[in-house]
Amino acid sequence: MSAIHVVGGGVAGLAGALALARAGRPVVLHEAAPMAGGRARALADGTDNGTHALVGANTAALRFLERIGARSGWLEPEPEGLPVLDLADNSARRIALSPFAWWRRSRRPPGCSIGAVLAMARLASPWRDVPVARAMAEHPAFHRSFVDPLVMATLNTPSSEASSARLGQVLRRLGAPGATRLLVAERGLGPDLVEPALDALRAAGVDIRFNSRLRAIEVEEGRLSALIFDSRIHADAALLALPPWEAARLLPGLPVPEAFAPIVNLHFERKGPGPVRFLGCLGGLCQWVLVRPSGVAVTVSAGDAEAELPAEALAPRAWAEVLRLAAVFRLPGEWPLQPPRCRVVKERRATPRHLPGPPPAPPRRPLPNLALAGDWTWPHLPATIEAAVRSGEAAAAALLGVPLGNTPIRLPRRGAWLSLPETRTVGAAANGRAARSP
């Protein structure tokens, strides 16, 4: 039985490779970087590339953690509600993420009223798509304290331009019991997600190849015939789990997102006692702060302006806000006045900008024996870990469950259909020249 090649070792690729391997197919996983994980990777020094969290509604991601034996590494740091500090007036409270818990006054977001809750409920309607800030304009306090942080965390897009329909996809999933439980990796994404996934893949017999970048694909008679890495590899089937710009390079005419939003993460080297804490901040640079015994991580979503600032300007501002959080919520351990050593990571194309209007809809199988995965290919959710897992498993199912017949490729380009010729090498090499078919 010939191997299925999975290209891309992010969460979507890991999930797709595991589904294929556990279905009994030989799998080769290619990752262009020297490590796996994609945007959810651990950095070379072991710190996370971002402050990633799951909620109970992320059922596919939690099932994936179960399958790789990593579920026990994810804990609920704030079961009594999310601690939030408003820097505007130094007010602090615990806010329940579930509206069903807002019967307790002490767990309600500021500005919460029947009218505000009804306005948020209308955002869950699939029939309306406007910028979220416009939809919540009559309830500014509630928007600032609850809806806007939710938008930034899930859509990574400013509320002034974020799609209410895309937010509605999230809201409709939060009504089930336990759906709003907030979970984080106890040690980090490396030891609690990426490494267990790689161990599970190796145990399933997957051949994992790092520093293996796909230069182009070769198409013959409407089917994938070969993958061009540093050498040509014959391929009967493949799963591409790549960022949209890489997918578009390899498959010209593929509909992909064209506007992206950055995420800025700051990682402070601060050792201290537990427990793991997850805190929110309003009115400042910091939005989410994850405190582990091994360090402190700060996330700035949709950080268009912050992505242009140097680390020397960001770290002191962020640390001053962390100190205020530590004091208000009485975090244990020593908290030095001077910022400790800090690593700033800027993902300039972290996610697509989730704007009003239908998102690009790439076909799951642009070729009969080629499937696409990646959080940006899953139309039912914004670009999240949950969407990545679902897309990887859907791509694997498409390859496993549909006969690989000889049908012509059709790729949409600017509203029209592009037909590829009978034999063609598609995609550009890393040096910008077209890759040649051997």
Q: What is the mean pLDDT of residues 63-75?
A: 97
Which residue is associated with the tokens 């242009």? 308
pLDDT at 407: 33
pLDDT in tens, 348-377: 999 999 999 999 999 999 999 999 999 999
7-55 confidence digits (pLDDT tens): 999 999 999 999 999 999 999 999 999 999 998 876 766 667 767 899 9
Could you tell me which residues come within 8 angstroms of residue 424 by beta carbon, excluding any fewer than 6 positions away? 218, 219
The DSSP 8-state label assigned to residue 144 in this structure reads: I
The CATH code belonging to domain 4-48+188-257+359-426 is 3.50.50.60
What mean pLDDT value characterizes the chain?
90
Answer whether residue 200 shows pLDDT above 50: yes
pLDDT for 288-343, tens place per residue? 999 999 899 999 999 999 999 999 999 999 999 999 999 999 999 999 999 999 99
Residue type for position 348: R
**Assign residue 213 a region: left if phi > 0, alpha if psi is -120 to 50, beta otherwise?**
beta
pLDDT of residue 41: 76
Domain segments of the chain as ranges: 4-48+188-257+359-426, 99-173, 260-352
pLDDT, tens digit, for every residue of 111-158? Answer: 999 999 999 999 988 888 999 999 999 999 999 999 999 999 999 999
- Non-local (6+) Cβ contacts of 157 within 8 A are 151, 163, 261, 302, 351, 353, 354, 355
**pLDDT class of 436 with cuts at 50, 70, 90:** very low
Helices (H), 282-417: 311-328, 385-401
Looking at residue 401, what is its pLDDT? 84
Residue 413 has pLDDT above 60, yes or no: no
In a 3-state reduction of DSSP, which class is residue 287?
coil
pLDDT exceeds 70 at position 247 = yes
Nearest Cα to 208, choosing from 376, 23, 34, 435?
A: 34
Residues 6 or more apart from 414 whose CB is under 8 A from it? none
Dig out the tokens for 1 from the structure.
């039985």
What's the burial of 276, exposed, middle or buried (CB within 10 Å: 0-12/13-18/19+)?
A: middle
pLDDT for 1: 79
Kindly indicate the confidence band of residue 257, based on its pLDDT and cuts at 50, 70 and 90: very high
Neighbouring CB atoms inside 10 A of 80's CB total 11
